[in-house]
Amino acid sequence: MDKIRFKQAQSLLLKAGKSQGTALKFKTAQEGTINSDRYADIINKIIETEEFIYSSRPTHHLLQEDAEQFCNSLIDIRNKIDDMLVEFEVLERENVEEKVEKLSQEFIILTTKGNFKKILTRWGVEPQRIVVAGVPLDVDDMRILNPKIPESALEPIKKKINHVKNDVNRKIRDLDTENILVVVEKDKSGEVLGKRAEDLYGARVIKKDSLKDTDILEFKRALEN
């Protein structure tokens, strides 16, 4: 059964490459090396989307949540295929850093650690657009992160919180944007910062398992969504 499904996935990939409806202009392939790990990931992703075919029988109609998951998977597959085509110069490689810089122009970006700021800067985000919040945005959130924290330790934390908020407000004024983007990892501090920023600023939140292991292309796509 697995072999049959693998063959089906390969067939889908071949058809996708021959699609006549795409607006992209493909060039003649040049010699290159297949990224076998990426190819295997594409195959596995296609096999995963098959589950929607089986689970939606007999109508194949998808409700909103399933439709979003299905389409997000297809977008991920398409992006990975494009990455492979770039390796063989069938598609042109864009200057991703320039694209990230342009896309991030509309945001002030909040993150939790100084080394995350270095990663974002390396990806093309202007440093002045980044605020490192080493503390949460509300003193009550500090109690969530550390339920045993003594009251005496909260006073200096309140000052740091005010400093972060003042920094955000100054950048809102100076950079002429009210769009706040939180870029964090899926840990407790990231979850708490993201939720509070949503409440205070209507922020958009991007959460990753590991920013260090996140590809710049993943970040660009997250900015585009």
Burial of residue 59, with CB atoms counted within 10 A of its CB: 0-12 exposed, 13-18 middle, 19 or more buried: exposed
pLDDT of residue 79: 83
User: DSSP code of 184?
Assistant: E
pLDDT of residue 87: 87
Confidence grade of residue 20 (pLDDT, cut at 50, 70, 90): very low
pLDDT of residue 8: 52
Closest CA to 84 of 49, 128, 122, 32: 32
**pLDDT tens string 74-122:** 988 988 898 899 889 898 777 888 999 999 999 999 999 999 999 999 9
Q: Where are the beta strands (DSSP E) in the chain?
A: 108-111, 130-132, 180-185, 204-208
The structural domains of the chain, with segments of one domain joined by +, span 2-87, 96-224
Measured CA to CA, the distance from residue 12 to residue 43 in angstroms comes to 9
pLDDT of residue 11: 53
Is omega for the bond preceding 58 within 30 degrees of 0, making it cis?
yes
pTM reported for the whole predicted model = 0.62
Instruction: Flag whether pLDDT at 1 surpasses 50.
Output: no
